[in-house]
Chains A and B, each alone.
Chain A
Amino acid sequence: MADAKVLPFDDDRSRSGAGRRRGTQPGGGRQAPSAGGGAPVSALPGTQPHADPAGPEPGAQAPQGPPEGSGRGDWDRRIASGLAFLRRRVTGDYEVDEFGYDQELTDQVLMSLLRPLADTYFRVEVKGVENIPSEGGALIVSNHSGTLPLDGLMLQVAVHDHHPAGRHLRLLAADLVFMLPVVNELARKAGHTLACAEDAERLLERGEVVGVMPEGFKGLGKPFGDRYKLQRFGRGGFVSTALRAGVPIVPCSVVGAEEIYPMIGNSRTLARILGLPYFPVTPTFPWLGPLGAVPLPTKWTIQFGEPIPTDGFPPEAAEDPMLMFNLTDQVREQIQHTLYKLLVQRRSVFF
């Protein structure tokens, strides 16, 4: 516990100076500052004196001036690649995998749409991303909250943008996602698939990083009063899947998602009529209509924990219910513990 008290204040200070360089800290430190150090403050590009060489250069818009050549070349390249992308799109000349994952669309469009939400709106701070292996399969197990599954999307952006090996997170989603029009199409293209053992195993065997939220709707639709209290972790199916595939389990704790839609009530009647697992009532929704559906701009922290190896178990271990329950509890405890630790460190919900 002493550990938990020392780390917070240190971390708090460093967080307040978002753009400041700081040395690598032992354990749980952020990735190299050059990669994403300036990202959280990029909302105000004018105040940023150091221009990223690869980023959008303001000088490129000016027609004359010495940096014009490089600026124009840069813009030309971007426009050319944008047009090439468009051409591939309209002629259908792109690839999807057997799950319907469209990597190009995800990288170029979907991630670009989600990135401002992650970087500027929720100011997601990602810690311990090095706990995700650079190659081979891994199962990321995370808590689930926030009425709408934004935490899954933010997790995907976090892994995509912060992992040094540029890994892609393949999320397992509830069947409701695949029943809804438009949502199912986008989910498939973003690489999500149905949360079932077959799909998870197939993805893990291909060496993908798979993300799962075992709490499911129980976690997503829990009342505001129960925030940061982990619900039951399903039936522990994720543990046996990881064991069968022999991949490590990376516990992940997301702080901040609980408060985006403070769910103060649940209209069961409406939920039943609409065929939804719950119908959220928040201080703003449904009273303000679509405006009430705007999430609160909370400050998020995503912490990836120490991986739990599963390759040391014998093959028949996946059939051992006792071991399953123990491992499930271990993962759950670790996530819950990290959640409390992060909550102690947090100064406020919004900053």
Chain B
Amino acid sequence: MTHDKTHVGKVIDQATGTAKVGHEWDGIEELDTPLPRWWLWTFYATIAFALVYVVLYPAIPMFHSASTGTLGWTSRGALAGDLDHEKAEHQAVRNAIAATPIEALAANPALQRAAIEGGHAAFKVNCVQCHGSGAAGAKGYPNLNDDDWLWGGDLSAIQQTLVNGIRYPGNDATRASQMPSFGRDGILTAPQVQDVVRFVRVISKQEPAGAASARGAVLFANNCAVCHGAGGEGNRSVGAPKLTDRIWLYGGDRAALTETVTYAHGGVMPAWGGRLDPVTIKMLAVYVHSLGGGEAAPAAPASGAAQ
């Protein structure tokens, strides 16, 4: 490489008529082709924009945070603003839902759709931990899609369950009942428990009747029928499951039924009345009711007050 630039000023390349920058590498030289002026002004404009931006918005990194900017903009503040905006957007719909009795929502399809969507959103936050994201439940946690309801599947029954919970301590209006632990507490002997299990499997059409189930029928009538009904049809006022159907909260095979009769189960659901606002609970009830198993309101409004 040679560097023989001895002149002051620019040297013109004869072939192109363009000035050279004065660098040369092995005979290869660089032309000083000027940038167009509009480009330069655009560049200056971006610099001016950046200067203004740096003053107005957080830009310069400091030790613990960035400079705050004179507009006071923050990403957290923007998020809070967005959330407030969304809340305000939803407020009219929420007011309408609040003003409409839950049974009357179906008459207004748009409002009902909004309630279902709002309930779905609240369900994802509050309910999926136990009932699953598809509301299909799990062992001990009811499937909310089916047509079998422990405490009632019409809108107001679902709403009451949501507000007061099930066997939830500290709530006087909670849905409460207690199945005795027949085996553990010595009410029934182990063979008697097996007889009852046999009988329950007969009435649920899982096995044919026999001597054991006949013994179990007597035990059932004396111990279980008070809550589960003479034929095992269940009783919603005490949350006693129907035993003749195909839906089992804790399992319908012999081992699971033996465990249930021996130790009993009493699932707990929180009372959401103190945690969620009434509109959200109403939307949740409408959502759960919409999952495919919702029931019409009973003709005589006397469901929840029995016990």
Indicate whether A and B interact: no
Chain B residues within CB distance 8 Å of chain A: none
